[in-house]
Amino acid sequence: MTSEVKIKAGQPQVQKAPVKAEKKEMTVAFIGNPNCGKTTLFNAYTGANLKVANWPGVTVEKVEGAINAHGYHIHLVDLPGTYSLTSYTMEEQVSRNFILSDDVDVIVDVIDASALERNLYLTLQLLELGKPVVVALNMMDIVEKRGMEIDLHRLPEMLGVPVIPVSALKRRGLSVLLHAAVHHKDHVHPDRLIHNHSDHTHHQHNHHSEFAMVYSDAMEDRIDAVRQLLHDKYPDLYNHRWHALKLIERDPEITAKYPVDDVHHVLDRSYETDIITEKYAFIEEIIHEVVVNQASKAAATDSVDRYLTDKWLGIPIFLAIMAIVFFLTFFIGDMVQDSFQGSIDTLSALAEGGLTSLGADDMLISLVCDGIIAGVGGILTFLPNICILFFALAILEDSGYMSRVAYVMNDIMNRLGLSGRAFIPMILGFGCSVPAIMASRALEDKRDRYRTMLVTPFISCSARLPIYILFSGMFFPHNAMIVAYSMYLIGIVVALAALKAMNLFSHEKKENDLLIELPEYKRPSAHTVYVYVWEKIKDYLSRAGTVIFAASILMWFILNFGPAGYGDMADSFGAIIGKAIVPFFAPIGLGYWQICLALIAGISAKEVVVSSFAVLFDGVNINSPAALAALASMMSQGGFTQLNAYCMMLFSLLYIPCAATIATIHAESHSWKWTAFSVCFQIAVAWVLTFVVYQIGSRIF
């Protein structure tokens, strides 16, 4: 999902007398801690609709857009969040490499003004890069609301760079920020740097006019010594001070790239912790001078979190919230669906009438009515359910609740040998497995990452919802919701159990701690929720128009043509294929060729299981309770009972999610071997579990 956002914000302005001969282009990169509002800022400028969420680890890939302003064609880049420039998760590497490259003209350091202390750590590192930096002091609306005050005059003096107060959400200060970025393009040297040290700190070095961050004398001596070594050996290097610092910290990448002979024996050990400590000492100084009214964290957040992140209550509350979500999905979805009930029949009748009067032959009429309208139309009617599901997920995400879930799952995840952060991709999996698998990049440990990728598809994504609605509605009319909810629970349990099994076989045991911070709760933004739901609806519609459309037509063809040409479904190619794979599915209670065929077709996209079903049963209207009841009783006579239906849902839940997910697994792992392994793994787990359920179930019932 490396979206190239191209925005039409007016034509490039004509430059009458270009000052420089080259084209007036520049690149501005947004960097900052996770959750500080970079993506919101990016969207505000570009009009893009990238996913914004009130929890860390969502943007994992850099995204570019462009606007025209102040006579420049400005490329804006939204980077994954990072706490420092020395970390090594994949998302943080993306940010670091890009920031270090020559492609960036101005770095806009987005900081969450309500959490200044934590955010400034990255700021100090960015200032040391010796590149033009502008600070965007974001979330000013929150700061004001809480009565916190920040000295906007003193802060830039201490940092030596412009500090622009903004609110990305309320779109305040945006043009000033852009203006500052453009005008700061070639400013590498800090302006107005004023230190007011108290008397007890004497510095023998005169670095205070040059750098915001000045270390202790001992450290500055060391930096100067290494800087000299670097200067002698690599005269062309662009920022000797920064490289010297990295050598002193023993940064593996820089140490390998620019080795020096340590003639003064100053690099006797890694001084990373000393440097961190000194940075934090300076941050404390800044906070002391700049923050006038240190407002306490919103009290509401603490009191709510006492329950939501409670050791015992946390997980039951999460399960209850999910139950409510699915109840709404079913209940409201059902109400809306009633109005759809007749429309498919009407549409089908209209099409049939129209085509007949035009003199179309039976074959075409069947293709349109029993193939396309039944398949695509059937899927479209689940749109209300899908909307509600995403609406609920958007609210849970934007309010900040989802990071609490990762937090309360931390203990369990640790016991399974993973960090609590590994649960985040799984939560995303309730929406769609594709972004969920991509989110596994936020995990530091490669092993964690692969394990998470392997089990994330077990989490029930939105595309599986139509299958549950259809089968639970048909065979469990009185308990449809509970049956469907059980699928969601089973998905989570299987994912966790698979992790547990992998951990048993692994010899390497390690300590894990939680690297997720808890953002404050806030009222979900209507715009964010709207964008979230709308993007998902577009996704769903485009799948209906492409994959599901094509699959319905293909399905119709293989069901209506056979070796003998157009004719009876029982002799069609579809029947032949389906019957060939029946032996594989028979032991798990799915030994019906129609079911087998639908499951195979479902690999293209999970909804196709349902659309194929509609085509298979000759354009049955899957919105009409009467038609479904008739179909269910017909299937029951063929021996397909509630148990078989449950097995059908279970297998659909667990077997390979869809072609797009497989492609994502490959893109993320760069390995066909791994991709093949995970596909086989998922099929094996699905088969074995369904086998157990069917075999035990058929002995009991």
Which residues contact Mg ion (rule: CB under 5 A)?
39, 59
Between 525 and 690, whose beta carbon lies closer to ligand GDP? 525
Does residue 517 interact with ligand GDP by CB under 6 A? no
Does residue 52 interact with ligand GDP by CB under 6 A? yes
Does residue 144 interact with ligand GDP by CB under 6 A? no
Closest contact distance (angstroms) between CB of 241 and Mg ion is 30
Query: Rounded to an integer, what distance in angstroms lies between the CA atom of residue 579 and that of residue 572?
Result: 11
Which of 40, 456, 604, 661 contacts ligand GDP by CB under 6 A? 40
Q: With the CA atoms of 149, 151, 156 and 162 taken in that order, what torsion angle do they form, in degrees rounded to the nearest 10?
A: 60
Between 369 and 405, whose beta carbon lies closer to ligand GDP? 405
Near ligand GDP by CB under 6 A, which window of 163-171, 286-294, 332-340, 681-689? 163-171
Which of 5, 9, 73, 141 contacts ligand GDP by CB under 6 A? 141
Query: Rounded to an integer, what distance in angstroms lies between the CA atom of residue 148 and that of residue 128?
Result: 28
Does residue 661 interact with ligand GDP by CB under 6 A? no
Does residue 604 interact with ligand GDP by CB under 6 A? no
Sign of dihedral through CA atoms 626, 631, 637, 643? Answer: negative
Residues 6+ apart with CB under 8 A from 14: none
CA distances from 600 to 43, 280, 367, 559 (A): 40, 58, 21, 14
Q: Name the H helices within 128-216.
A: 140-145, 154-159, 174-183
Element (H, E) at 108: strand 106-112
> Using alpha carbons only, what angle is made at residue 659 by residues 653 and 660, rounded to the nearest 5 degrees?
100
Residue 619 contact, options Mg ion, ligand GDP, none, Cβ 5-8 Å cut-off depending on partner type: none
Closest contact distance (angstroms) between CB of 519 and ligand GDP is 7
Closest to 249 measured CA to CA, from 84, 31, 101:
84
Sign of dihedral through CA atoms 188, 189, 191, 194? Answer: positive
Closest contact distance (angstroms) between CB of 38 and Mg ion is 5
Closest contact distance (angstroms) between CB of 58 and Mg ion is 5
Query: Rounded to an integer, what distance in angstroms lies between the CA atom of residue 74 and that of residue 134?
Result: 15
Does residue 89 interact with ligand GDP by CB under 6 A? no
Residue 348 contact, options Mg ion, ligand GDP, none, Cβ 5-8 Å cut-off depending on partner type: none
SS3 645: helix
Does residue 109 interact with ligand GDP by CB under 6 A? no
Contacts 24+ apart (CB under 8 A), 260-266: 260/226, 260/229, 260/230, 260/233, 261/229, 262/229, 263/229, 264/225, 264/229, 266/221, 266/222, 266/225, 266/226
Element (H, E) at 110: strand 106-112
Does residue 36 interact with ligand GDP by CB under 6 A? yes
Q: Which residue's CB atom is positioned nearest to ligand GDP?
A: 37
SS3 140: helix
Between 398 and 668, whose beta carbon lies closer to ligand GDP? 398
Query: Rounded to an integer, what distance in angstroms lies between the CA atom of residue 6 and that of residue 463?
Result: 29
Residue 37 contact, options ligand GDP, Mg ion, none, Cβ 5-8 Å cut-off depending on partner type: ligand GDP
Does residue 406 interact with ligand GDP by CB under 6 A? no
User: How is 237-260 classified by DSSP, letter by letter?
Assistant: -S-HHHHHHHHHTT-HHHHHHS--
Between 118 and 183, whose beta carbon lies closer to Mg ion? 118
Residue 595 contact, options Mg ion, ligand GDP, none, Cβ 5-8 Å cut-off depending on partner type: none
The alpha-carbon radius of gyration of the chain (Å, integer) is 30
Closest to 644 measured CA to CA, from 688, 599, 695, 682:
695
Does residue 525 interact with ligand GDP by CB under 6 A? yes
SS3 74: strand
Between 59 and 167, whose beta carbon lies closer to Mg ion? 59
Between 169 and 653, whose beta carbon lies closer to ligand GDP? 169
Closest contact distance (angstroms) between CB of 81 and ligand GDP is 5
DSSP structure class, residue 15: P
Which of 27, 28, 29, 39 contacts ligand GDP by CB under 6 A? 39
Which of 528, 611, 644, 682 contacts ligand GDP by CB under 6 A? 528
Contact 434, 667 (CB under 8 A): no
Between 39 and 611, whose beta carbon lies closer to ligand GDP? 39
Which of 29, 38, 76, 455 contacts ligand GDP by CB under 6 A? 38
Does residue 139 interact with ligand GDP by CB under 6 A? yes
Closest contact distance (angstroms) between CB of 59 and ligand GDP is 5
Contact 206, 190 (CB under 8 A): no
Which of 138, 366, 433, 664 contacts ligand GDP by CB under 6 A? 138
Closest contact distance (angstroms) between CB of 309 and ligand GDP is 19
Does residue 398 interact with ligand GDP by CB under 6 A? yes
Does residue 433 interact with ligand GDP by CB under 6 A? no
Between 333 and 524, whose beta carbon lies closer to ligand GDP? 524
Contact positions toward ligand GDP, by CB under 6 A? 32, 34-40, 52-54, 58-59, 81, 138-139, 141-142, 167-169, 398, 525, 528
